[in-house]
Chains A and B, each alone.
Chain A
């Protein structure tokens, strides 16, 4: 066991490009390795011996290829070269498929191939040439492909394709033959073969005929859509979806394209062109909002960048913008505007109130966002106004669309001072929750008042130990304890008149 380990280490250490680190420098790693070896060796005493295990003690457990240190070394050693030599000789590759016949022991029985590919961009020329893999080029001497001039039926052709043998599709000329070929490919369930046939059909049939025939062949259709997606043949794909009446899919697919447009103006124009697409009613509204938002962001960004550079607007000097607002989500944009443009009149694009109205932002969302932005700026009067201004019945109570517990949470996250926190902790309705929040944020007054209202001398006396000696809080507790707790004590924080 140890021998093979040493072997492996030698092997890797001798390699200039050390891909798998078996010898971890880290001591704890090697200890773990040791212990695992130990565990295994004991197990072998108890159970059956297994040669195979010997070499596997120190398993493929090191950092797989691509560990950082390794990559660095590798990069250092290799020149990044991307230029290609156009004069590289191109030799026809028709011999390839026949060469691939492998002598697999087990799975040769079930051998098949797949059309699964991902990503990458595809040029249109692929569709032209890909069939040639199966179809020999005609200009070649006949002797070179005598093997495949044999007259295979569609079914035999599909079978040969499944086995990776060379076949010719070119001889299937009539529509009927082509469709037969497709149907056999489909019933073989082999994606790679289906795709190969589809590529041939795409090249040799008109769009109209192909689309029509695919409509009644759902499996083939799905493979075709997949193929077009992978090969990024957006135009043809959109056309196909339109013919099939899958208009919503088509609209979404088109809309998705905006993600690959980096320039904001081009992206905005593209989104604008999406507005007329046949989305579902609700998606249409969202896409409209998306467009409107980006349009605004472009205007706000331009204005603010200028203001910031001009150096005359105080807020941009005090809190320089950390990033551009372009392509940020709506709520982030609202936060930004609450931060930099809070007091603007409703008529401007950057006014928070205007944004709220245009995008139908829920009361709660607006409230949370404005609260966080103003608290961040420590504009406590703005924070205060948020709660009172909407109270049109009178100024006796503070109201909030979200629980005061959440309000306290948000304020605390923006490091509000205790006096501010206290005011909102006091507004929490539930006494237990109020006390626990007050304790967390050290709002002594609230705790004392709550205990007083609960007429609980014991808790009050207990809390005396938690406040500073000689502090006003201590004096207040003493005063309360000395007085007999009166019936119907003063109203607590919650009912404070503001």
Chain B
């Protein structure tokens, strides 16, 4: 499972190994047999770090989910709670410990906070009178989780909301810490670029932390040449647009969580001979999605319109491979064929899966509703009629389409128009509140605070200038054989990635004007390397840039960066890091104040 982490330019398996080592060390501190009680949310991220055979090697015999009431019985010496530092979880733990203690006084309790311990939580445990029941209270610093060979995420869901709405920079502190860890493993990154207030803040913290550890020089040869820190609010437009790559669409439609997607089972029903195919499976089909799967690695970043062709090409290759058996005459040849069979079977089943997924997606992308929505998005992105009330949005409200869909569109119109005319904004707001409920005043206010929705203050609309200078719209986007990143949105080139691309060549100096129109400062910092660690670059050797998206990144943006890495003349390889993998829907959702979130 982890091998795919080491295929890339930077061996991210090292980071994973370090995390595993810490986990082992913690487990060994609790000597004897153990049961782990999980905060369910953590099982996803942990699955990316360790499989449970590791836990078993360290005497973990049972695992439970954290829930109130009494702990299930288990004949173990240690009970370890793996939890996020959240107050409501502390109450559950307290309850567990209370009901447990009377029955088995001999079991030892431990808590492992992920990713940090928190005073408030410990205090809560103390109030509940259970703090002393714990032998060990520790933290497991899991800042950056390796997702794939070129992808790291903190899975810090509320990062954007905290940074841009609540002005709380705790997530940035974690980001800086995570980057320090990364540098401890992969060497000091000599060049830091950034755009945005949060980027500036993170860079400052990093430089400061480095000064504090000035005594211990990092002696590792730098793997990364450059770090680029980008604030999400520098590019608010991109996540609002519907992603059109294969992986992006899977995420938009079904949602990818910790590398897994759950799909409706119908299309995966196996038609077996001699079996009634009547009863369809009712449990969702769960698929793991990462570059360990050859076919997926090949098609994930393609525009969806090019996926069909890729799949059928693959099908032909596989059939041809199976046909080879007729040519196998000698024992040796037959042996060789047989030895390849498992691989071929696997390829075939992978193909079957992705054909089914592609079918599911195609049903949606060919629908009228999808087409209409996309048309309006593209009108906004190209600057058509962004200054008046849009009939399609109006109709969608009248039909009571999901609120998030409406918000995505209205925000997009606002961003593409550098704010809406007061009259237009008021109209949308009234329609939304009347149709979806007045309590959404809170959500609308949040969107305004995050600048996703705003009244036009100056008469000047910057967006067309930005669009033209950065070539955000490409009329002739080639979906099948792309020659530009704009293929990921069938015409729209994500602003964030354009900034990254321009930085590599010809440099940001060429777009000073545009940079000034985007929020926050842009800057460049250098970190001194100890002599002897300066890289001697081979002729034609690519440089490596770590792009860190503060506040989230979409799969389509990742696809665009991978495309740039693969371009022959780009001379740059990109590794991507983020606070959270997002799409427009999860992103807007994180900014909403919903009634249901009120009841814990």
A residues bordering B, Cβ < 8 Å?
A: 4, 7-8, 11, 15-17, 19-20, 26-29, 31-32, 34-43, 50, 52-53, 55-61, 63-66, 70-71, 74-75, 77-82, 84-85, 88, 90-93, 96, 99-100, 102-107, 109-123, 125-126, 129-130, 133, 164, 189-192, 195-196, 199, 219, 222-223, 225-227, 230-231, 252, 255-256, 258-260, 282-283, 286-287, 289-290, 293, 327-331, 359-362, 364-365, 368, 402, 406
Contacts and interface: CB of A to CB of B under 8 A. Distances in A.
A35 B70 contact: no
Contacts of B69: 78-82
Contacts of B64: 17, 19, 65, 74
A189 B395 contact: no
Given A17-B62, A42-B346, A81-B70, A189 B205 contact: yes
Interface in B141-192: 141, 166-170, 173-174, 176-177, 180-181, 184-185
A60 B441 contact: no
Nearest to A20: B52
Contacts of A119: 86-88, 600
Interface stretch (B115-123, B462-470, B564-572): B115-123
Contacts of A192: 116-119
16 contacts: A17-B63, A60-B52, A61-B260, A63-B286, A66-B65, A82-B95, A105-B22, A109-B184, A115-B170, A116-B170, A120-B124, A252-B441, A259-B598, A286-B438, A287-B441, A364-B394
Interface stretch (B228-236, B377-385, B429-437, B522-530): B429-437
A164 B118 CA distance: 10
Given A42-B342, A65-B64, A190-B173, A77 B72 contact: yes
B398 A364 contact: yes
Among all A-B residue pairs, the 4 with the closest Cβ atoms: A120-B87, A38-B342, A35-B346, A290-B438
Contact of B349 (A26, A32, A293): A32
Contacts of A130: 119-120, 123
Given A39-B294, A59-B47, 5 more contacts: A28-B285, A52-B3, A71-B65, A110-B209, A189-B176
Contacts of A223: 168
A304 to B, nearest CB: 20
B31 interface: no
Contacts of B539: none
A117 B184 contact: no
B99 interface: yes
Contact of B270 (A28, A55, A118): A28
A62 to B, nearest CB: 9
Contacts of A39: 292-294, 343, 346-347, 350
Nearest to B438: A290
B51 A56 contact: yes
Nearest to A406: B395
Contacts of B95: 81-82, 84
A64 B286 contact: no
B2 A53 contact: yes
B87 A65 contact: no
Does more than half of chain B's interface fall in helix, strand or loop, or is it mixed? helix
B438 A96 contact: no
Instruction: Report the contact-size class of chain B (Cβ under 8 Å from the partner).
Output: 35 or more
B433 A286 contact: yes
Contact of A361 (B124, B293, B342, B434): B434
Contacts of A103: 25
A220 to B, nearest CB: 12
B119 A115 contact: yes
Contact of B137 (A17, A99, A107, A226): A99
Name the residue among A99, A114, A328, A331 with the largest chain B CB count within 10 angstroms: A114
A299 B167 CA distance: 42
A115 B400 CA distance: 40
Contact of B40 (A64, A260, A360): A64
Nearest to B439: A259
A129 B123 contact: yes
Given A88-B98, A106-B181, A120-B600, A64 B47 contact: yes
Contact of B87 (A41, A117, A364): A117
B33 interface: no
Name the residue among B72, B287, B400 with the largest chain A CB count within 10 angstroms: B72
A252 B445 contact: yes
A300 B398 CA distance: 24
Name the residue among B205, B285, B437 with the largest chain A CB count within 10 angstroms: B437
Interface in B103-154: 115-124, 126-127, 129-132, 134, 136-139, 141
B68 A82 contact: yes
Contacts of B270: 27-28, 31
B237 interface: no
B120 A65 contact: no
A62 B283 CA distance: 13
B442 interface: yes
Given A65-B38, A252-B441, A50 B63 contact: no
Interface in B183-236: 184-185, 205, 208-209, 213, 216
Nearest to A14: B61
A330 B44 contact: no
Contact of A40 (B127, B292, B353, B445): B292
A93 B131 contact: yes
Given A60-B52, A130-B119, A74 B438 contact: no
Nearest to A90: B129
Contact of A53 (B3, B177, B395, B433): B3
Interface string B408-439: 00000000000000000011011101111111
A219 B398 contact: no
A20 B10 CA distance: 32
B47 A115 contact: no
Contacts of A289: 433, 438
Contacts of B90: 120
Interface string B12-39: 0000001001100110010000000010
A84 B91 CA distance: 12
B43 A66 contact: yes
B436 A329 contact: yes
Contacts of B346: 34-39, 42
Contacts of A104: 22, 25, 141
Contacts of B132: 90-93, 96
A340 to B, nearest CB: 19
B532 interface: no
Contacts of A81: 69-70, 95, 99
Contacts of A107: 22, 141, 177, 181
Given A65-B38, A195-B119, A52 B170 contact: no
B332 interface: no
A290 B22 CA distance: 53
B395 A116 contact: no
Contacts of A113: 116-119, 139
Nearest to A372: B398
Contacts of A406: 395
A206 B174 CA distance: 32
A93 B126 contact: yes
Interface string B46-84: 110011111010000111110111111110000000001
Name the residue among B18, B342, B431 with the largest chain A CB count within 10 angstroms: B342
A108 to B, nearest CB: 9
B595 A110 contact: no
Interface in B291-313: 292-294
B348 interface: yes
Contacts of B29: 102
Contacts of B433: 286, 289, 330
B364 to A, nearest CB: 20
Contacts of A34: 345-346, 349
A104 B112 CA distance: 13
Contacts of B173: 112, 114, 189-191
A227 B118 CA distance: 12
B118 A102 contact: no
B433 to A, nearest CB: 6
